[in-house]
Structure 1
Amino acid sequence: MALRGSKVWLWRWRRNPLKRRADRVEAWVVLGVWTLTAFVGMLAGTTVSRSVEDGLARERVEWRPLVARLDERAPGRASESGGVSRTEQVWAKATWTAEDGSTHSGQLRVPAGSAAGTPVTVWTDPEGRQVTRPVTESQAQVRAFLIGSVAGIGAAALPLVGGRALRRRLERLRMDQWDAEWSRFGPMWGRTTG
């Protein structure tokens, strides 16, 4: 077990006759790296989060539900009661008309056994292309927070890794200085005068 003294607040900036220039540089590097890491992480995280949330809000405004009609009977069979099964969903081809009058078709998830011509809801973008249902506002906030957090952590890792590499280089320089001084004064160790 290593013995450690009490923690001294701001020890890197206190006066000490044994402190070298490399120690002072390292103290400022540590402060700068942590400040830059926090700043870059927050900036990247909030920027990406806002961008994602704005994009999802734009989708909620632009994407519209349209009524599509099944081109053929959906695979599978209807429930025993003769109705359409609401639990089993299958892919079936449907056709819809966009707001601009153009006709589109695509595969949609529908209840198994649905008859040809059955109306189903399809979400489309302004050009009439099929899209997924847009997320709700609360889902958009959660998604934006998660994506922004990942982006912020990833961006903050860059200055942190750079700072660690710089500190490692400073440590190597400090050890080289100590080796040079030890080789100069080490042979004198244990000599007696007189």
Structure 2
Amino acid sequence: MRAVSGLWRWRRNPLRRATDLAEAWLALTALLLVALAAPLIGVLSGSAAHTTLQRSVRAQHQSRHLVTATVVRELDAAPPATDPELLGGDAGSRVLARWTAPDGTG
């Protein structure tokens, strides 16, 4: 019975005010916007973000290339890390390496 209690605003009733009818239509409009428009806006914004990220990935793939490096020698221990990302984990070892650039320089 509670679910139908809001329908009294649309029935013909001498005690119903014009503001009651306006409130009922406004509530119905708000419900439809939340139920239909919000998911649609979410899908559209998600699609736009996905397209932009894919374009960025394609640009990065075009500007980068795979090279093979050769380790010349191992270097001394690294100085204390100032990068917050390296403070908590293993920074690995430092090496001197050589590789050939795409234009043939080394």
TM range (shorter): 0.5 to 0.7
Say which SS state the counterpart of residue 116 (structure 1) adopts. Answer: strand
Say which SS state the counterpart of residue 117 (structure 1) adopts. Answer: strand
Q: Please state how far the C-alpha of 1:39 moved relative to its aligned partner.
A: 4.0
Q: Which of 2, 5, 10 is equivalent to 1:7?
A: 2
Q: What does the per-residue CA deviation read over 1:12-33, in whole Å, with 9 as the maximum and x for residues that have no partner?
A: 3222222111111111111122
Q: Please state how far the C-alpha of 1:50 moved relative to its aligned partner.
A: 0.4
Residue 67 (structure 2) pairs with residue 60 (structure 1): no
Question: Is there any run of 5+ residues in structure 1 with no aligned partner, and where?
Answer: 1-5, 77-86, 90-111, 120-194
Percent identical: 30
Residue 78 (structure 2) pairs with residue 75 (structure 1): yes
Q: Please state how far the C-alpha of 1:8 moved relative to its aligned partner.
A: 5.4
| Counterparts in 2 of 1:8 and 1:62: CA distance versus 1, 3 Å | closer
Q: Which of 45, 50, 66 is equivalent to 1:48?
A: 45
Q: Please state how far the C-alpha of 1:60 moved relative to its aligned partner.
A: 3.0
Structure-1 residue corresponding to 2:90: 88
| Counterparts in 2 of 1:115 and 1:46: CA distance versus 1, 3 Å | same
Q: What does the per-residue CA deviation read over 1:130-163, in whole Å, with 9 as the maximum and x for residues that have no partner?
A: xxxxxxxxxxxxxxxxxxxxxxxxxxxxxxxxxx
Higher helix share goes to which structure? 2
Q: Which of 8, 14, 19 is equivalent to 1:17?
A: 14
Structure-2 residue corresponding to 1:114: 94
| Counterparts in 2 of 1:59 and 1:8: CA distance versus 1, 3 Å | closer
Give the total of aligned pairs: 81
Say which SS state the counterpart of residue 95 (structure 2) adopts. Answer: coil
Matched letter for residue 2 of structure 2: K
TM-score (norm 2): 0.55
Question: Is there any run of 5+ residues in structure 2 with no aligned partner, and where?
Answer: 80-88, 100-106
Q: Please state how far the C-alpha of 1:54 moved relative to its aligned partner.
A: 0.8
Higher strand share goes to which structure? 1
Q: What does the per-residue CA deviation read over 1:154-181, in whole Å, with 9 as the maximum and x for residues that have no partner?
A: xxxxxxxxxxxxxxxxxxxxxxxxxxxx
TM-score (norm 1): 0.33
Q: Does structure 1 conserve the Cα–Cα contact (< 8 Å) formed by 2:78 and 2:93?
A: yes
Structure-2 residue corresponding to 1:186: none
